[in-house]
A and B are shown apart, each in its own frame.
Chain A
Amino acid sequence: MASGLPLRSLLLATLLLGGCQSLVREGTADVAGIGGAALATAVTDNGAVATGIGLGVRSLANAGLQYTERRLQRQQQDKIAAIAGPLPIGQVAAWNASYAVPLHADEKGQVTVVREIGGAGLQCREIVFSVDTVVERKPQRAFYTAAICRNGQTWKWASAEPATERWGALQ
């Protein structure tokens, strides 16, 4: 039973982590986890310990993938914010983001500024941007709204997370 507790906490951690992840993500973590479990069986014949090691490796792989996804999404947010920051209100400019990693498709669209949101010592803007894609050889446009704020010389994405009551299937 000595291995029971860490195994259980690992299981719990995986349950919490695993709540809302895509199949791609599960796939990456699974391969690592299965590899980890297989390796572990070579050094221990205790099934619970092997599964625990597998789950641990899986969590690490998962965290690595999430880190990459966050980095790519931040790149895109920074790109759009940098273009919308100096843009005069009412004008439309193009943005595009290309990635060296095949994990995220290159995306492009247009962005415009709706209004300034000012306060004591802060400079923010509300923006509307499009994401232009081609579905079945027909161009498609989706529109989104967001907020950006100026931090020193750089404009950064400023939309806050939804209220926890509205997370629903997000997590």
Chain B
Amino acid sequence: MTRRAARRAALLAVLLPLAGCNAVGGIVGGVSGALTGAATTNPAVGYAVGISVKAVTDATIQYVMRNIQRGEQDSIVRVAGTLAPGDVAPWKAEHSLPFGYGDAEGTVQVVRVIDTPLAQCREVAIGVGKGEDAATIIATACAQEQGWKWANAEPAVERWGALQ
């Protein structure tokens, strides 16, 4: 490793914890692009390699993050599906990732039964976080063939703002 590459690797190591998971793709892409650019001297090739690495890294991280989130949603509504309205029960989501990354626990209760001819749904109040981060969240869940699933639809497009 050249001294320059070592410096970039060190920079990457510093940036990673700062930037959070979602920015990793861009940083990895940028570093790969810079390294490739240095190797080929053609900036277009460097750019193409950097951006492609970024796309793959981004997609992988998003896939992992979505799976963690889906796991948490499934754990919560699985408990909520068995509850009688008014009962409070604990939920726990474990992902067997290093350092317990993404693991979470809290409480859940059914605040309203949404009985429709189309589907059986429930409005649930979920306790998340601990200490200063503790919060209550309201969500909906519906019974599907394979069990209870999170049912909140996407926001109105006019409210997507910076989400997309």
Contact = CB atoms under 8 A, between A and B. Distances in A.
Contact of A18 (B26, B56, B69, B154): B26
Contacts, number: 171
B62 A110 contact: no
Interface size class of B (residues with CB under 8 A): 35 or more
Interface string A127-171: 011100000000011111110000000001111111101111111
Contact of A161 (B59, B142, B159): B159
A120 B72 CA distance: 38
B117 A70 contact: no
Contact of A128 (B51, B114, B137, B155): B114
Contacts of A40: 44
Interface in A104-126: 110-112, 114, 126
B98 to A, nearest CB: 18
Contacts of A30: 48, 51-52, 55
B155 A145 contact: no
Contact of B59 (A15, A22, A91, A142): A22
Interface stretch (B5-13, B80-88, B143-151): B143-151
B2 interface: no
Interface in B1-54: 21-23, 25-27, 30, 33, 37, 41-44, 46-48, 51-52, 54
B160 interface: yes
B110 interface: no
Contacts of B164: 20, 66, 69-70
A51 B58 contact: no
B62 A22 contact: yes
A11 interface: yes
Interface size class of A (residues with CB under 8 A): 35 or more
B157 A74 contact: yes
Contacts of A142: 144, 149
Given A33-B51, A159-B155, A169 B22 contact: yes
A145 B51 contact: no
A51 B41 CA distance: 12
A54 B160 CA distance: 27
Contacts of A97: none
A43 interface: no
Interface of A: 11, 14-15, 18-23, 26-27, 30, 33-34, 37-38, 40-41, 47-48, 50-51, 54-55, 58, 66, 69-70, 73-74, 77, 90-92, 110-112, 114, 126, 128-130, 140-146, 156-163, 165-171
Interface of B: 21-23, 25-27, 30, 33, 37, 41-44, 46-48, 51-52, 54-56, 58-59, 62, 65-66, 68-69, 114, 116-119, 121, 135, 137, 140, 142-145, 149, 151-164
